[in-house]
Structure 1
């Protein structure tokens, strides 16, 4: 019998075929907001579901089928990567039961973003593209614009997902930000991520990434 992750991988594959992204390798990462307003979503299983849904993308993109994971509030933690073998209780094991992790404070994005950049451009420097999914429920600090602008020369595409009913003013400005060699960030707003179908989520998630791939390859930022 097919498991939920198997079904999701099939849906990802169909989406990739539609967008002509098959036979393609990318490193996949996930940054999770763990500020105070996210408590309910951690406790009711929504965040665990998000990990599984993005892991399905990593299984199709990533050459070793792993999902790199970070969480942040006003501090951040780089967590063990998620894989098909160990994702089922990932949030409970690595986040909720981990007393070393700072949880449910205020949000501050630039430090965790700098750590993402450090991992993919210093520790594991490569021209293989990075698809970075960034979950946030509002209140993003304005200095993220500087980080995104400066990282436009790096092989990282930032896909922000705003969840809940905040206004997301800063994230809405990402597509029109000037001063970048390529448009390296996109924002989608999904008010209730638990109720959206996998087909719809993957279609939204992978909508602008192919455009960046072409632009970044043309500017020799990535190798595809």
Structure 2
């Protein structure tokens, strides 16, 4: 009887497996199945985000974006940053390390500055540094998911503009009830070689289905890929 129960249990797909299938469906729909890209996530860890770290929402967000990374990245790896007034580049995550990633590497990590105010440019500069100075394949596309629950500082515009010549696409996701005044103007930002950033807002990311989330996440990335190839920013 125990053997039967164990067999049934192993036959039940895990949430990450179900999410990978949802990503695959979205990639097929958007004709992205042959794309190879590095994937990273930047997590707001300012004071107002504290409940989402404690109730498991951020852990779930990491899993949902890891599912994207498994389909784009040859190493099936998601790179991770957190930031408030300071930032930390954390160990990359794979399915093997996913389990209690947020609790282990963020909440129980005394070296991380947590729950202060926000300052986006330093962490963005570190993202740029990693993929353009430290990585050997510096022309591989990079898809960055940037989670933010409040207004960003205005100097973020300069970083986005200057990085428009680089193989990095910034997908900002606003969560909560802030007005996101700066991020709403990304599509009309002038002075860029290509449109390298997009923004959408979700009141409660934990209530959005995987299918809807992946559709929104990957809505403008294909357009950027085409433009960036035409400008020879990516191969």
**TM-score of the two chains, using structure 2 as the length reference:** 0.94
* 1:216 CA displacement: 0.3
Deviations 1:135-185 (A, max 9, x none): 000120000000000000000000000000000000001110000000000
- Quote the residue 1:38 is aligned against: 49
CA-atom RMSD in angstroms: 0.5
- Which structure has the bigger radius of gyration? 2
Aligned residue in 1 for 2:166: 154
Q: Does 1:171 align with 2:198?
A: no
Task: Show the counterpart of 1:82.
Answer: 93
Q: What's 1:62 paired with?
A: 73
Counterpart-to-counterpart distance in 2, 1:222 and 1:3 = 34
Deviation at 1:47, TM superposition (A): 0.3
Match in the other structure for 2:25: 14
Name 2:118's counterpart in structure 1. 107
Question: Structure 1: how far apart are the matches of 2:209 and 2:98?
Answer: 20
Q: Flag structure 1 segments of 5+ consecutive residues without an equivalent.
A: none
Q: SS in structure 1 opposite 2:216? A: helix
Q: Which residue in the other structure is 1:48 paired with?
A: 59
- Report how many residues are paired: 223
Partner of 2:197: 185
Q: Does 1:124 align with 2:141?
A: no
* Aligned: 1:142 with 2:154: yes
Partner of residue 133, structure 1: 145
Q: Distance in 1 between matches of 2:219 and 2:70?
A: 18
User: Are 1:29 and 2:48 an aligned pair?
Assistant: no
Matched position secondary structure for 1:194: helix
Considering fraction of residues, name the structure with more helix: 2
Runs of 4 or more, structure 1, over 3 Å off, are: none
